[in-house]
Amino acid sequence: MPVELNIQSPVLLEAMSRLLERLPEVAGESLPDVATTLRNLAKGGSPVASGDFKGSWSDVQATEGGALSFENPTEYGPYLEYGLYPGVGPRTIEQGGQIYSRQAPGGILGPMMEDQTVLDDAINSLVNEIIRRMEATGIR
């Protein structure tokens, strides 16, 4: 007789149901940690001339719609992010028809969010944190 697992087993389905019921709540609790990590990566990738830009990143905050957000309100932030410098000089470089800081070619947030490694790490971090929190509450 073969060893078999019946996935329609009421016990298994009930356990899976309990796990899935808590998933949105636990994911919501875990997401701020991931957002803070992304903010710290943005800060770490910020150019340093005077240090004003690097030091001006806000903390992660929840928006009205429930999203998480962080920003850098400095006047020259758009120049760094979108390559809006007026010309190439000792601290700037032309890339893709735009002129960026040599320290942040392509911007800061854009390249970070296009980097598959950064995205994979953020997703893995979120999944691991969800698992850790669920195990801590006795849900397996």
Mean pLDDT of the chain: 85
Looking at residue 5, what is its pLDDT? Answer: 61
How high is the pLDDT of residue 40? 93
List, for the chain, all residue ranges whose pLDDT scores fall below the cut of 50. none
Beta strand 61-62 pairing with 68-69: antiparallel
Residue extents of the structural domains in the chain: 31-136
Predicted local distance difference test score (pLDDT) of residue 6: 59
**Are 126 and 120 contacting, i.e. CB atoms less than 8 angstroms apart?**
no
Burial of 76 (0-12, 13-18, 19+ CB in 10 A): middle
